[in-house]
Amino acid sequence: MASTQELSVSKLFSLKDYVCLVTGGGTGIGLMATQVLVANGAKVYITGRRKEVLENAAKQHSPDPKVSSGQIIPVSADVTSKESLEELIQEISSKEKYLSLLVAAAGISGPKGISDTGSASELKEKLWNAESPEEWASTYNTDVTAVYFTTVACLPLLQAAPKEHCSSAITISSMSGMMRHSQGHFSYNAAKAATVHLSAMMSKEFAETGVRVNSIAPGYFPSEMTMKGSDDKQKSHMPDEKVQDKGHEVPAGRPGRDGEMAMAVAFLARCGYVNGEVLKLDGGVMNEVGGS
């Protein structure tokens, strides 16, 4: 039975002694996850293909040591390559006895094909020319296949974490994988739907290892992918009006904020009684549109 003092936010969400891996941790949602983890005491390995981006993230966003013992450690890797993933895990294993948390945030948006005509001939022409099987394969490989193999590669280290860490993987899917509206991104939305289901399967199939798997399905959040760029701190800005012409209502009337993503990551990282869930962080969009 917990005392009142034990239920303080600082104790409930302390990540002291946690060791984490965040793919795509140098920008966007991956960077938001990295920030909340190190702010609460975790050691966080961030990975991606661009070494300079990872190093700048560590430089710009490492916490004040007087405030938090958290650390950001950049390690470049290609999560779409099994060989690169093996090298990454070997490097982490040479320094750490365990991983407490994996956040699989690396992803790409894929090609865009707009379905805005009632003419089947015109629609066929637009979509046929806008997209290619190779682009679809690349999107799926990064957004789904890499999530699977990254999680599998981390399982032994995740199982080795102290029991009180309630080790887990958090996949970053999307509300786009849950709605019927393509948003002009057939390949991306189809891939994110697969990520949602993959996460559910992994939560069931990996349960005997003691490793939980949950997913966050974000709505509109600022990132390099959504805004096509970022500032010198690798942060992106999305103005409120950006979400007001999407073909559907965004009840919150604004994009999501860094702190809101941070709260979701901290909750799933720490609450060991949650497994197999998809947390919609969408400002109420899925209440307004049709979905699965």
Active-site residue identified among 167, 188, 220, 280: 188
Active-site residue identified among 100, 173, 230, 236: 173
CA 274 to chain centre: 17
Q: Is 66 a catalytic residue?
A: no
Q: Is 173 a catalytic residue?
A: yes
From residue 230, give the alpha-carbon distance in Å to each of 27, 39, 138, 227, 262.
8, 22, 23, 8, 19
Nearest Cα to Cα of residue 47 among 174, 153, 185: 153
Q: Is 187 a catalytic residue?
A: no
Provide the token pair at 258: 């860094």
From residue 6, give the alpha-carbon distance in Å to each of 3, 12, 161, 240, 262.
5, 7, 22, 38, 21
> Residue 271 and residue 32: Cα distance in Å, rounded?
19
Provide the token pair at 256: 């999501």
Active-site residue identified among 43, 100, 168, 192: 192
Angle at 253 between CA 251 and CA 259, to 5 degrees: 100
Assess contact for 224 and 26: CB atoms under 8 A.
no
Assess contact for 43 and 97: CB atoms under 8 A.
no
From residue 125, give the alpha-carbon distance in Å to each of 5, 122, 128, 206, 256.
64, 5, 5, 44, 35
Residues 6+ apart with CB under 8 A from 282: 175, 217, 218, 219, 220, 256
Q: Which residues of 141-155 are buried (b: 16+ CB within 10 A; e: fewer)?
A: ebbbbbbbbbbebbb
Which sequence positions are flagged as catalytic? 173, 188, 192
